[in-house]
Chain A
Amino acid sequence: MASSSGFDVRRQFGFTTIALACFVMLYLPVVLLVVYSFNAGTSVAIWEGFSLRWYRSAWENVQVQEATVRSLVLAFWASLISTSVAVMAALATTRTRPFKGYSAIFAMINQPLMVPEIVTAVALLIVFAAVKVWTGYTGLGYLVLAHSAFCIPFAYLPIRARLQGMDLSLEQAASDLYARPWQVFRRITLPQLWPGILAGAMLAFVISLDDVVITEFVKSAGQDTLPTYMLGQLRRVVTPEVNAISTVLLAISVTMVIAFFFVSRMRK
């Protein structure tokens, strides 16, 4: 007999060790970052006791307040706009026979995923710099537009996945009973599509909230979001205040990602 009882065909030497080390590596820096946000001292490496002073100082920092509000407003509009147009685009590109120009449209929708961010950022800088001179407008509109654009694929993909898995027979039945197209959409499609829309919107929100590169190049003076504010701070002496801001941002992202994980798994 070739096989002995203790022999596991799935085992490879050292793989489990490397894998576990990998998980530790992935989480250790972030855990330390969070731990030191509660440090009573001014160091991000020497522990001097527990305190919430850095959260308080971040909370009282006017720049941080403004950046937080701006980040949230921006993420709200970007996810609202990108999800709305993504729902329409997904309805137009699924559940039909393959049509001419489909792959071009698909490539265009997914362009933000393929083109390096720095390339898009520089391209937007060039265009918006000219538009800013022509129109004199320097408001938040440029950032909303830029964020909406790169959030579209993140909203589109989960919605499309949901649509593809949906049963057509209910909609057909509704049409047979003389429901108007809009009624069919409102009463039959939308309720089934809802988890996909929610998942897409959350993903878009997180992506917008986390963006650094495009925001850094598009923003006008005094339009820092939380990530660009932090990037600016890294040049100076770093205090645990940055850790505190990071921890709050992390908490928002992780909550959204876990929620996304469960929403996208909801029963159809």
Chain B
Amino acid sequence: MADLARTRERRELRTRWLLLTPALIILFIAASGPLLITLIYSFLTPGDYGGVQWKFSTDAWFNVVFQRDIFDDTLGFADAHLSIFWRSVKLSLMTTVGAVILGFPTAYFIATRPANRRDFWMLLIMIPFWTNLLIRTFAVMELIRNEGTINTVLMALGIIDEPIQMLFTEFAIMVGMLYVYLPLMVLPLYASMERLDFSLVEAGYDLYATRLAVLRRIILPLVKPGLIAGSILVFVPSLGAYVTPRVMGGGKQLMLGNLIELQFGQGRNWPLGAALSITLLAIVMVALIFYVKSAGKEEVGHG
């Protein structure tokens, strides 16, 4: 009997791996494997016309943060890179804060609708999320360009004489990212608010708490896991954004994603590009580990 059980177990194991193999091969060739090669490339020497020479070098990693002055060979910080790093972090944080300010009331609104209507409101949040990111960015661009809807209307009303330059600014990138990533904030926030026990809120009011006190002392602590989840879900893609800063920043206001691309185009420094993209990946992984830890603690039930 024990033998029979063991044969069956072995057969099950073999079936399982047979079933998994095709998916894992595709993922290895076109997802995990290339990441390892990117790591290797970051330790090579750039080729003259793009590509690499197979010579070990740590220059790329050094150049992520530092640079040598071309005239007197002194060491300094790579200001251009650091300012792009800073802009990426700053705009991602601002986007996250903006998403909390807009997303929190929206999720709360949906969670306090009658149970049979909530799905409808959530569908309204989901539809933009699943539609093309480029098209949504493009829609915002048409709204805020110099000859776009907002400026046209304002000028027609005689409020302004000259169009306000909004496109190709940091503000435009932030608005664009806020617009495309807002649903990612509403989703987890709604998931934790839906299970909010309103008898606790009622108890608060019975004890003469004001609306603000109830919000701060009762609702906020209870939906904190959703708030953290939403913040990370917005922050991570903002930090790695490529399309939105390219369209809304017009190549003038670069973010990390655009800086990486630049190294594979005009920059012709593939190892530096590889090092920068591994850096971005590392930051994102830290944020995600933080997310998994905080979600695991509170058992946020979504996904």
Contact = CB atoms under 8 A, between A and B. Distances in A.
Instruction: Indicate whether A and B interact.
Output: yes
B162 interface: no
Contacts of B103: 22
A210 B132 contact: yes
Interface stretch (A58-66, A120-128, A166-174, A190-198): A120-128
B20 A254 contact: no
Contacts of B278: 119
A246 interface: yes
B179 A85 contact: no
Contacts of B231: none
Contact of A116 (B101, B106, B135, B281): B281
Q: How large is the interface on B (under 10, 10 to 19, 20 to 34, 35 or more residues)?
A: 35 or more
A227 interface: yes
A82 B128 CA distance: 24
A120 B20 CA distance: 22
Interface string A2-35: 1100010111111110111011011111101100
B27 A12 contact: no
B82 interface: no
Given A32-B143, A127-B33, A249 B132 contact: yes
Given A32-B149, A116-B240, A127-B34, A227 B105 contact: no
Nearest to A28: B143
Interface stretch (B69-77, B221-229, B269-277): B269-277
A200 to B, nearest CB: 12
Q: Which of A12, A156, A227, A256 has the most CB of B within 10 A?
A: A12
A116 B38 contact: no
B124 interface: yes
Contact of B211 (A11, A115, A145, A254): A11
A253 B132 contact: yes
16 contacts: A27-B124, A30-B135, A45-B142, A85-B23, A89-B22, A109-B27, A116-B239, A118-B277, A119-B35, A121-B242, A127-B34, A145-B29, A152-B26, A234-B141, A246-B138, A254-B127
A15 B108 CA distance: 8
A221 interface: no
A112 B31 contact: yes
Contact of A109 (B23, B126, B281): B23
B138 to A, nearest CB: 6
Nearest to B148: A45
Q: Which of B29, B33, B134 has the most CB of A within 10 A?
A: B134
A257 B131 contact: yes
A129 B51 contact: yes
Nearest to A91: B19
Contacts of A73: none
B131 to A, nearest CB: 5
A14 B236 CA distance: 29
Given A116-B257, A123-B35, 6 more contacts: A44-B148, A45-B152, A108-B28, A118-B240, A127-B33, A149-B29
A250 interface: yes
A12 B108 contact: yes
List 8 tightest A-B contacts by C-beta distance, closest first: A116-B240, A19-B109, A123-B34, A149-B30, A29-B139, A92-B19, A15-B105, A18-B105
B243 interface: yes
A81 interface: yes
Interface stretch (B57-65, B198-206, B293-301): B198-206
B194 interface: no
Interface residues of A, number: 92
Interface string A129-155: 100000000000000011011101000
Interface string B263-303: 01000001001100110110011001000000000000001
Contacts of B32: 108, 111
Contacts of A92: 15-17, 19-20
B128 A26 contact: yes
Nearest to B17: A92
Interface in B132-166: 132-136, 138-143, 147-149, 151-152
B110 interface: yes
Contacts of B112: 10
B4 interface: no
B126 to A, nearest CB: 7
Contact of A29 (B17, B105, B143): B143
A108 B25 CA distance: 11
Nearest to A121: B242
A148 B208 CA distance: 58
A196 B182 CA distance: 27
Nearest to A93: B20
A105 interface: yes
Contact of B136 (A15, A30, A96, A109): A30
A213 interface: yes
Contacts of B27: 108-109, 111-112, 149, 152
Nearest to A246: B135
B102 interface: yes
Interface string A26-53: 1111101100100000011110000000
Nearest to B33: A127
A89 B20 contact: yes
Contacts of A120: 31, 34-35
